Amino acid sequence: MADAPPAPLTAAERAAVRRLPVAVDRRVELLSILFRLAGAPPYPQAATPYARAVDAWFGRLRADPAVVATRELIARGIAYDGPVQLAVQLDDRWRLTVPRGDLDPRWRRVDVAGYLALVRRFAQVSDVAGFLRGQRGYAAAVEGADRRLLGDRPIVDWYERLLGRRPGARYAVAPGLLSGGHSFSARGHGGRAVLLVLFLEAPGADGVPRPTVGSVEFLAHELAHSWVNPIFGAAAARLRPVATPVFRRVAGAMRGQAYPTPRIMVDESVVRALTVLFLRDRVGADAARRSLADQQRLGFAWTPALASALDALRRAHGGRLDPDAAVAATARVLREWDAEQG
């Protein structure tokens, strides 16, 4: 394990981190431990020294009622991002902070209160607090690696300059110490709390990641949804006539990525175009070109035209993107792409 403290952040890095704090999240970690013990993908895939320490500390509790209950949740389709979708709605003592109706649909179908009671009991029996204290040196090294990656790339600030500040919004990155090769995002409290679980990219033998632009792209993409979804959700009726025929042409590719409706396709289209612009501004032209190629390969063939249209709008308005103009530009790009297909 890497217990040496990370090097101090520069003043610029500290300012960026304040807008997008990076810290291991005890809510995520406890649920990840339970889902690992219960065998839910992708949590058993983690193979770092930390993951082995989890198995050594908690392995004797595989028959605990909380683990048994977690296996039942897996059988009902809760895995992958499921624990994160619940974690974002909890306080740091694993108590629900929102009405049941605000939960992810998968969690509305189960006895959440009963499950959380078992989770809290497991936390006491297993001394999860003691375990996490013992792993603090490792956690600090992971946090430092991710903070350093984001230090000169203030993603939240970039979106706020482009689309304005969202009142009451809180953003956080939680390193996914057990999430294997997967990153997840969750929004709680009416979308105001945004939690991004970032996988450990290219971890060394010590389990500390060596994150690259791929991690930056994931965070930029997921954060974009915080602005894009409300704007384009409000304009869904206006966009439906133009989005529906486009969706019919690419329905196979969209559904294969779990984007089953024209509305979701539109949100994803704008998010991907904005991510390309962020990469161009904050990472470099090569990263933006690679992202553009990826979006086209994934079925979003209109991304170059949409990114260009949104870029032209912001340049014409001093770096700001007017929401109504962005909606109109998106409709125009989709309409023109559909017409080009014959």
Residue 311 lies in a domain: yes
Query: 38 φ, ψ to 5°?
Result: -85, -10
Which pLDDT belongs to residue 3?
40
Residues 186, 307, single domain; the answer is no
Alpha-carbon dihedral 131, 215, 169, 88, rounded to 10 degrees: -40
Residues 203, 230, single domain; the answer is no
Indicate the residue among 211, 237, 260 that finishes a domain: 211
Helix axes 26-37, 49-58, angle to 10 degrees: 70
Express each pLDDT in 269-298 by its tens digit: 999 999 999 999 999 999 999 999 999 999
Residues 280, 163, single domain; the answer is no
Which pLDDT belongs to residue 6?
46
Residues 201, 291, single domain; the answer is no
Helix axes 65-75, 112-126, angle to 10 degrees: 140
Residues 100, 179, single domain; the answer is yes
Which pLDDT belongs to residue 17?
59
Residues 222, 195, single domain; the answer is no
Counting as low any pLDDT under 70, the low residues of the chain are 1-10, 12-17
Q: What angle do CA 87, 90, 94 make, to 5 degrees?
A: 95
- The count of domains in the chain is 2
Alpha-carbon dihedral 121, 76, 182, 128, rounded to 10 degrees: 10
Express each pLDDT in 247-273 by its tens digit: 999 999 999 999 999 999 999 999 999
Residue 72 lies in a domain: yes
Indicate the residue among 211, 246, 280 that finishes a domain: 211
Residue 3 lies in a domain: no
Which pLDDT belongs to residue 153?
84
Residues spanned by the domain of 282:
218-340
Question: In DSSP terms, which residues pair with 22 in a beta bridge?
Answer: 173
The answer to whether the bond into 323 is cis (omega within 30° of 0) is: no
Which pLDDT belongs to residue 233?
95
Residues 93, 186, single domain; the answer is yes
- How far is Cα 314 from Cα 291, in angstroms, rounded to an integer? 20
Q: Which residues contact 194 (CB under 8 A, 6 or more apart)?
A: 169, 170, 171, 172, 185, 186, 187, 222, 223, 226
Residue 4 lies in a domain: no
Give the distance from CA 247 to its chain's centroid. Answer: 24
Query: 225-251: b or e for each residue (b if 16 or more CB lie within 10 Å)?
Result: bbbbbebbeebeeebeebbeebbeebb
- Single-letter amino acid code for the residue at 267: D
Burial class for 303, CB neighbours closer than 10 Å (0-12, 13-18, 19+): buried
Residues 65, 194, single domain; the answer is yes
- How far is Cα 304 from Cα 128, in angstroms, rounded to an integer? 48
Residues 35, 79, single domain; the answer is yes
Around Cβ 211, how many Cβ atoms within 10 Å?
23
The model carries a pTM of 0.88
Which pLDDT belongs to residue 154?
87
Residues 157, 271, single domain; the answer is no
Residue 5 lies in a domain: no
